[in-house]
């Protein structure tokens, strides 16, 4: 007889690989978008440019609240922000990409350079308003 706890554990094991696969696929698509849209300013290592372009690697601003990353990509950023104790005021233009692409590039950013984030979905992107 299978107990509820054991059944939940088995179901969790079945779900984890599928979730991991979705995360890896999204990151791969996001990496391509990052190389096309973001790398010029935020650089290949995600460290940005000190005092001018905020880092994405280890960014307390975005890792604590992924919606801020989504909002910056979707709508741009004009107000100053403080990242890891440093203020940045260089504007960022909105990226003219689909919600799926925003989800993928955000997933890539939040799960690269030692960042430990989560899979960002189109639903997550749709929830973020200006």
Residue 2 lies in a domain: no
Q: What is the pTM of this model?
A: 0.85
Give the dihedral sign, CA 20/101/122/55: positive
Separation of alpha carbons 43 and 41, rounded Å: 6
Q: What is the pLDDT of residue 7?
A: 47
d(CA 29, CA 89): 29
Amino acid 37: pLDDT: 97
Answer yes or no: is 6 within a domain: no
pLDDT of amino acid 4: 55
The C-alpha angle 78, 80, 85, rounded to 5 degrees, equals: 150
Structural domain for 105, as ranges:
23-127
Q: Residue 111 has what DSSP assignment?
A: T
Question: Per the structure, how many domains does the chain have?
Answer: 1
CATH number of the CATH domain containing 38: 1.10.760.10
Please give the average pLDDT of every successive group of 10 residues along the chain, which has 130 residues: 52 63 97 98 97 96 94 96 96 97 98 95 96
Does 84 fall in a domain?
yes
Residue 17 lies in a domain: no
């Amino acid at each position: 007889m299978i107990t509820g706890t054991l059944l939940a554990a088995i179901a969790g094991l079945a779900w984890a690989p599928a979730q991991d696969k979705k995360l890896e696929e999204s990151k791969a698509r996001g990496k391509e978008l990052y190389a096309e849209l973001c790398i010029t300013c935020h650089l290949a290592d995600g460290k940005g440019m000190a005092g001018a372009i905020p880092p994405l690697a280890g960014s307390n601003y975005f890792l604590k609240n992924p919606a801020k990353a989504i909002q910056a990509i979707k709508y741009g950023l004009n107000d100053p922000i403080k990242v890891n104790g440093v203020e940045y005021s260089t504007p960022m233009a909105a990226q003219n990409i689909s919600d799926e692409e925003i989800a993928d590039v955000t997933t890539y950013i939040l799960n690269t350079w030692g960042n430990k984030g989560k899979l960002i979905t189109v639903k997550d992107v749709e929830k973020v308003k200006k």
